[in-house]
Amino acid sequence: MNKYLLLCCSIVLFSIPFINFDYFYLSWIFLIPILYLIEVKKSSPLKVGAIFGTLSTLCITYWATNTLSNLSGSSLIASALIHLIYCIYESVFFIAILIVFKLSLYKTKKKLFTYSLLISFYVVLEQNFPRIFPYKLGNSQILITEISQLISIFGLNILSILTLIANISLYELFINKNIKLLLLTLALGAISFLSGTYILNQKTIINENGKIKLAILQPNNKIENLISLNNEIHQAPKSTHPYLSIWPESSLDKVHTSKKEDYAKFKDSFSKLFGNRNNFILLGSIVKHDEKYYNAGILINQNSQIVDTYYKNKLMIFGEYYPFQSIISKIIPVYSSFVALEKGSLKTIRINKEYSMGVIICYEDLFEKSSLELSRLNASILINLTNDIWYGGSRASYQHLMLSIPRAIENKKFLIRSANTGISAIISPNGKIKEKLGINKSGYLIGDVLLSNKKSFYLSNYKIINLFYYIIFFSLLAIFYKKARNN
C-alpha cells in the first residue's frame, strides 16, 4: 500500500504543473518517489512505469474523452476507451526510462554514470517518442522567464535536463544525505538564472520598417461576432487601424477556389460581409482546391482577393486524417464517412517586400520543427491560427497556449495566436505574454509587434545541438554495454 501511495504522489506532482503551470516547482520532486521505489523498494520498472505513465497522462489529458467524442461523434464510452488505450501507449515512454535506470543501477554500481545515462536517455527519447500532444518535461518550467531564455541557445531540452538534475540532487540528499550534489545543482541553477537574465536584458536593434500594427480577432465561433469586431476595428480612428488583421482557424466554413466562378462568388460574398477596410486579413478556413480539401491560412488583400495561401503541414490524427478506418469504423460507425484532408508543404507568406510570416495552424505550434523550418525560410513572425472549441471549458486551451510559448523563445520572434474561442495572445520573443483574451469570450487585441529576420543561436545550430545530445547518449550507452558485459 505504501508503494502505491508513493506512486500516487509522483503522479500528482508530475500532473499538476501541466494543468496549472504556476505550480512548476512540483516538477522538481516528482521523480523522487519513483527513484526510491526502483532503487530501495526494488519495484518492477515495468509495473511502475505502466501505472505512472497511464495515470499521469489520463490526468493531464483529462479533457481528451469529451474532445474525441465531439470531434468524431462517437459515444463517450468508445471515446474513453480510445483515450485509455492512448494513455497506456504513452506509458511505454516511462517504462523504457525506468528499465534503463534499473539496469544501469545494478550493472554499473556508479551513481554518477547511472544518472547521466538516465538524463541523456530521457532527453533523446522525449525528442523522438511519437506523441499526439508532446508534453515535454521542460514545458512545465516555461514560467521561469529567466531560465527559459536558455531555450534560445540549447532548445527546450535544456529545461528538461535542469528539471531532472533538480529531482536527482534532491533524491540523493534524501537517500544518501549528499549535500555536495545539491550544492552543485544550486550553483548550476544560479549560473542558468544569471545567463538567462543576461539574454533577457539584451537590447534588440529595431528596424522601424519592421514594426507593424496587428489586430487579433477572437469571434468565439460566431460569424456575426467576426463581422461586428471587424467593423468596430475600422470604425475607430484611422491611426489605430491595423496593417494586418488575424482571424482564427475555422473563421469561414469553406472556401472554394477550384473554379473561376467559385472564386468570383467568394470575393463578392467576402466583400459584402467584411468590406470597408484598408488592411490585409489572414484567416483560417477549409479550402477546396482541385477537388481536394486543405486546412488553410489565407491572406486576403483590401480588394477581397486571395493573395497567398498556406496549407497545413502537420495534420491531426482522428481529426484531419483517419488511420485504420476499416477497423475503427466497426467501433465508431460514423468514422467510415469522414473525409481526410490533404497535407501541404511548409512555406512562408510575404507581408511586404522585406518581411514574411510563418503560419502554423492548430496544434502545429506544439512542434518545434515546424516553426524552426519556417524561420529558416525567413519567417519574421510566427502566427498560430487555431480553433480550440473542441476542448470546451477545460484547461486544454490554457495548456495549448503554454505549450506554444517555447516556439517564440526558440526562434526569438513574436508569436501571435488567434484562437476561435480562446486563448488568443501576443507572445514576445522572450516568451512573455504581453496581452491575451480569455476563453469563450469575443473580442480583439491590437498591438505593435516587431518583425525580425535575425536567427537565434538555437535556430542557426539546432541540428548540431541535437546531434550533441545523441552523441552523449550513445557514448554513455556504449560505456554501459561494456561495463555490463564485464560484470
Supply angle C-alpha 281, 283, 289, rounded to 5.
Answer: 115
Q: Is 461 exposed, middle or buried (0-12, 13-18, 19+ CB in 10 A)?
A: middle
Phi, psi (degrees; rounded to nearest 5) at 107:
-100, -25
Q: Where would I find the beta strands (DSSP E) of 113-260? A: 211-218, 244-246, 252-256
Q: What is the pLDDT of residues 51-105, one digit of tens each?
A: 999 999 999 999 988 887 877 667 788 888 889 999 999 999 999 999 999 988 8
Q: Which CATH superfamily is domain 208-315+324-451 in?
A: Carbon-nitrogen hydrolase (3.60.110.10)
Cell 494513455: give the residue: 87
The answer to whether 263 and 256 have CB atoms below 8 angstroms apart is yes
Q: What is the pLDDT of residues 324-366, one digit of tens each?
A: 666 666 666 655 556 677 888 889 998 888 889 999 998 888 9
Write the single-letter amino acid at 168.
Answer: I
Whether a cis peptide bond, with omega within 30° of 0, leads into 95 is no
Q: What is the pLDDT of residues 288-322, one digit of tens each?
A: 888 788 889 999 988 888 889 999 888 777 666 66
Domain positions in the chain: 2-201+463-486, 208-315+324-451
Lowest mean pLDDT among 203-212, 271-280, 400-409: 203-212
CA pair distance 204, 430, nearest whole angstrom: 11
pTM reported for the whole predicted model: 0.90
The answer to whether 386 and 365 have CB atoms below 8 angstroms apart is yes
Per-residue pLDDT at 138: 95
What's the average model confidence in pLDDT over 23-42?
94
Average pLDDT, the chain: 88
Q: What is the pLDDT of residues 106-122, one digit of tens each?
A: 777 788 888 999 999 99
- Between the alpha carbon of residue 282 and those of residues 93, 186, 326, 477, the distances in Å are 39, 46, 37, 48
Among 287, 282, 284, 299, smallest CA distance to 256 is for 287
Cell 472549441: give the residue: 389
Supply angle C-alpha 172, 58, 104, rounded to 5.
Answer: 35
